[in-house]
């Protein structure tokens, strides 16, 4: 059941709304704006119904706060209020509310509007997910990499923590396709993506398909040695999948990895180091493949 958060200082109002929507949705009631803010950022709601006139922080102020937080920003908010003047309604909509409902309301109208906004929200989430996910493998795509790397690089620069960037490329993959066929090649790309991503699962890690049979990853916090050791483990894990290759080139399908660990400085960009990781990958190929160059 999808979750709706009702923020209203009047328990009578909130209960009335819950009676209307409770059959279709899982309702949580917050009776103060502070509690509303806490609830909104600690659970995943599909919609927030927000009263405007409340003691202390009013609904407009709470709405502004919700819009400022990354985790609550995308959740649609409907303002429900007795303020029927144009200025208030305009203010609410400009602040980012998806809808504005004046009390007293008809329950059928509330239901219809709530259903519509939840449908739109789910559609938007689905589109967002698809635009950032690689269709073949289900891991992040290059677009998500571009978004995430910028955010995380800035964070590492601010916190001055080590940041490792690595590039992966499947060895002799053209030959694999030529020998076993493109559909079999697709399965290998998927299996390897799944394996590597299982080693880059911490919240400070990231892994994406960069294109074709190339992948990119980054890790935050580990020093150069630790990152290098971790990547060597990943290289071994891919080899240990024991995916048979064309025996003329190799027994198993393997990956080459190039990477670098740095403490980000203001004067050099993420892309600068990504290019270095790519050069390291090139060296790994040159030295014979199936190895990590750090």
Is the CB of residue 52 less than 8 Å from the CB of residue 60? yes
Structural element, H or E, at residue 231: helix 224-239
Comparing CA positions, the residue from 228, 230, 208, 226 lying closest to residue 217 is 208
Q: How far apart are CA 208 and CA 214, in angstroms?
A: 9
Question: Counting contacts by CB under 6 A, is residue 257 touching ligand GH3?
Answer: no
Give every strand in the sheet of 77-81, ordered side by side: 26-30, 3-7, 47-51, 77-81, 99-102
Question: Counting contacts by CB under 6 A, is residue 294 touching ligand GH3?
Answer: no
List the single partner that 9 binds among Mg ion, ligand GH3, none, CB under 5 to 8 Å by kind: Mg ion
39 alpha carbon, distance to own chain's centre? 21
Subset of residues 152 to 171 that bind ligand GH3, contact rule: CB under 6 A: 169-171
Q: Which is nearer to ligand GH3, 81 or 290 (CB)?
A: 290
List the single partner that 189 binds among Mg ion, ligand GH3, none, CB under 5 to 8 Å by kind: ligand GH3
Question: Counting contacts by CB under 5 A, is residue 89 touching Mg ion?
Answer: no
Question: Counting contacts by CB under 6 A, is residue 289 touching ligand GH3?
Answer: yes
State the minimum distance, in angstroms, from the CB of residue 262 to ligand GH3. Answer: 25
Question: Counting contacts by CB under 6 A, is residue 244 touching ligand GH3?
Answer: no
Q: In the stretch 174-203, what mask flags binding to ligand GH3 with x, by CB under 6 A?
A: xx-x----x--xx--x--------------
Angle at the Cα of 223 (from 220 to 229), degrees rounded to 5? 100
Structural element, H or E, at residue 170: strand 163-170
By CB under 6 A, name the one of 65, 111, 232, 285 that touches ligand GH3. Answer: 285
Which listed range, 47-55, 145-153, 190-198, 221-229, lies at the site for Mg ion (CB under 5 A)?
47-55
Going by C-beta distance under 8 Å and a sequence separation of 6 or more, which residues neighbour residue 246?
Answer: 172, 175, 176, 178, 179, 180
List the single partner that 53 binds among Mg ion, ligand GH3, none, CB under 5 to 8 Å by kind: Mg ion
Residue 34 annotated to the active site: no
Question: Counting contacts by CB under 6 A, is residue 27 touching ligand GH3?
Answer: no
- Looking at the DSSP bridge assignments, the partners of residue 252 are 244
Residue nearest to ligand GH3 (CB): 185
Catalytic residues: 213
């Amino acid at each position: 059941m999808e979750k709706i958060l009702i923020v209203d200082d009047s328990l009578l109002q909130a209960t009335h709304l819950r009676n209307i929507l409770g059959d279709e949705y899982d309702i949580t009631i917050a009776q103060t704006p502070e509690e509303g803010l806490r609830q909104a950022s600690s659970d995943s709601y599909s919609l927030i119904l927000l009263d405007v006139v409340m003691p202390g922080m009013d609904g407009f102020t709470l709405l502004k706060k919700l819009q400022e937080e990354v985790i609550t920003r995308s959740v649609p908010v409907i303002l429900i209020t007795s303020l029927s003047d144009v200025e208030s309604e305009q203010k609410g909509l400009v602040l980012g509310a998806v809808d504005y409902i004046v009390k007293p309301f008809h329950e059928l109208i509330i239901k219809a509007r709530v259903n519509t906004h939840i449908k739109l929200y789910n559609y938007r989430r689905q589109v967002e997910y698809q635009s950032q996910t690689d269709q073949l493998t289900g891991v992040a795509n290059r677009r998500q990499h571009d978004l995430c790397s910028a955010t995380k690089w800035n964070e590492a620069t601010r916190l001055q923590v080590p940041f490792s960037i690595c590039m992966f490329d499947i060895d002799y993959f053209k030959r694999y396709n030529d020998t076993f066929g493109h559909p079999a090649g697709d399965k290998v790309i998927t299996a390897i993506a799944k394996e590597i991503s299982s080693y880059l699962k911490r919240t400070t890690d990231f892994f994406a398909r960069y294109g074709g049979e190339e992948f990119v990853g980054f890790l935050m916090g580990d020093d150069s040695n630790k990152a290098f050791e971790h990547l060597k483990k990943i290289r071994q894990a891919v080899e240990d999948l024991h995916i048979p290759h064309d025996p003329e080139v190799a027994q198993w399908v393997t990956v080459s990895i190039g990477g670098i660990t740095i403490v980000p400085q203001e004067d050099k960009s993420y892309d600068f180091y990504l290019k270095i990781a790519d050069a390291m990958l090139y060296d790994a190929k040159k030295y014979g493949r199936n190895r990590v160059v750090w």
